[in-house]
Structure 1
Amino acid sequence: MKYGEKEITHFSHPQHKLRFEISEAPFKCDGCKEVGIGSRYKCNSCNFDLHKHCALPSPFKSHIFYPKCSFQFLPRTPGDIPRFCNACERDINGSVYHCKSCGFDLHPTCANLPSVLDDGEVKLHLYCKASEPCQKCGRKGRSWTYRSTCKKYNLHVACVREMLVESWQDIYLGHGSNSKKLETRIPNLKGTVQTNQQRNKGKVKKCTAIAGMAVQFIISALLGDPTALIAGVVGSLISKA
């Protein structure tokens, strides 16, 4: 199976084929159990959905932040102890990239986070640790971090993931009796982004808007599809929350 295939058979759902589609509505991935948006493989008969990273994973994956590690894709976490993602610090409840030698774990979407997010106006680079305070929590060393080229905006992946989970609004997929309630929700970001530039009130509005745009792009990457189109959809959902 390869990326770009319109229809696949997947071991986790052998009774029906999964078809590739682009969704502007959020869905819950039945592989990693995390929320998704955009590209997915879907069973229309069963409301079964997979991120493309979960449907067609690389069996093994390396990461620049862990040069000595070899991450193996597993359909579920190994062993009986709770495990958390070393990128976003949240629990892992489904499929995972696991390094047997060091015990590190990554959500599939976190393992595939782009090193650079760029929409032509905001450019964000991924770092293993923050060298400057995060715009959300005000602290430095915590989880992976996206930092703007201008070095004014720093956002922990963990903080954005928390915003994604803590501020959910109820969203229903489908229609009528076939509707499916999403167990996760799109975040309301109003008032969540803190800036250290509020002494100069003339710049606050612009700085907050740019920081909010940065959050939208990181959220879209965490949802599995870091494109301008999907970021725009995320932004519209946020504005309605």
Structure 2
Amino acid sequence: MDYKHFSHPHNLIIHRAYELGIQVNCSGCNSPCDNTTTAVHACHPCNYFLHDHCANAGRYVKHPCHKAHPLILLPHPTYAGNTFICNACGHPGKSFSYCCTPCEFDLHVGCAFLPISVTHKAHQHELSLSYGVPVVPRRGSNTDHEYCNICKNILEARHWAYSCQNCDFNVHTACATKEVVPGLYQDD
């Protein structure tokens, strides 16, 4: 079955990742389409591929982290340099983003659909998604930043994290999960 996707001028054909016979990256999120991916939407002549969750991502979402405006799915950045910085993880992006142009607010597709809570083997309690890391003053410390309890690197206060507030346990979203929950936020 082939169909038209708003992000590409040609029809896309749905395949299983292993049927492609080659390793490809998703043109929507720029991550590998591996054998665990259930479906890949492909335009072979253009070398254009989409994970199922990127191909089926809603065009608009109302996200709790940005209540002022709906976020619009864009197939490529509109900024000079053709890149954006994700407000959730702080990493640059060159492909799909959920964007609020008036606010210059952007999210990777994967960051937009992170689960609200996760469990992780490194901590005994459920971890909740926080839209910014709370910096807790510590006795005898003059630092104004937190460290990820998994990778031990700095957690930027303006970026998202998973946290257990009761235990002061904070981790990067990427350290806590790779899970994406498509359709988590829908336009009502």
Higher helix share: 1
In the alignment, the residues of structure 1 paired with residue 125 and residue 153 of structure 2 have an alpha-carbon distance, to the nearest angstrom, of 21
Question: In the alignment, what sits opposite 1:49?
Answer: 49
**Pairs aligned (count):** 160
Range with bigger deviation, 107-116 or 73-82:
73-82
Q: Which amino acid aligns with 2:40?
A: Y
Please, what is the CA RMSD of the aligned residues?
3.4
With 46-55 and 71-80 compared, the bigger mean Cα shift is at 46-55
Change (3 A) 1:123 1:90: same
The one-letter code matched in structure 1 to 2:12 is K
The separation in 2 between residues aligned to 1:139 and 1:85, in whole angstroms, is 15
1:65-99 residue CA offsets vs partner (Å, 9 max, x unmatched): 11112211111111324421000111120111110
CA displacement at 1:9 relative to structure 2: 3.3
Q: 1:140-195 CA deviation, whole Å, 9 max, x = no partner?
A: 614100124763531123xx3xxxxxxxxxxxxxxxxxxxxxxxxxxxxxxxxxxx
Alignment deviations for residues 178-214 of structure 1 (CA, whole Å, 9 cap, x no partner): xxxxxxxxxxxxxxxxxxxxxxxxxxxxxxxxxxxxx
Matched, 1:127 2:124: no
- When normalised by structure 2's length, the TM-score is 0.66
Q: Which residue in 1 is equivalent to 2:153?
A: 137
How far residue 45 of structure 1 moved from its aligned partner, in angstroms, is 4.5
What does residue range 26-105 of structure 1 map to in structure 2 within 5 Å? 27-35=24-32, 38-43=37-42, 45=44, 48-81=48-81, 82-105=83-106
Q: Name the residue aligned to 1:111.
A: 112
Q: What corresponds to 2:140 in structure 1?
A: none
Structure 1 residue 61: Cα displacement:
1.2
Please tell me whether the aligned partners of residues 19 and 41 of structure 1 are also in contact (alpha carbons under 8 angstroms).
Answer: yes
Q: Equivalents in 2 of 1:97, 1:44: separation in Å?
A: 23
Structure 2 alignment gaps of length 5 or more: 137-145, 183-188
Aligned to 1:17, the other structure's residue is in SS state strand
Letter in 2 for 1:75: P
- Tell me the equivalent position of 2:170: 154
Letter aligned with residue 133 of structure 2: A
Q: Which runs of 5+ in 1 are unaligned?
A: 1-5, 161-214, 227-241
- The alpha-carbon deviation at position 16 of structure 1 amounts to 4.5
How far apart, in 2, do the equivalents of 1:140 and 1:45 lie? 40
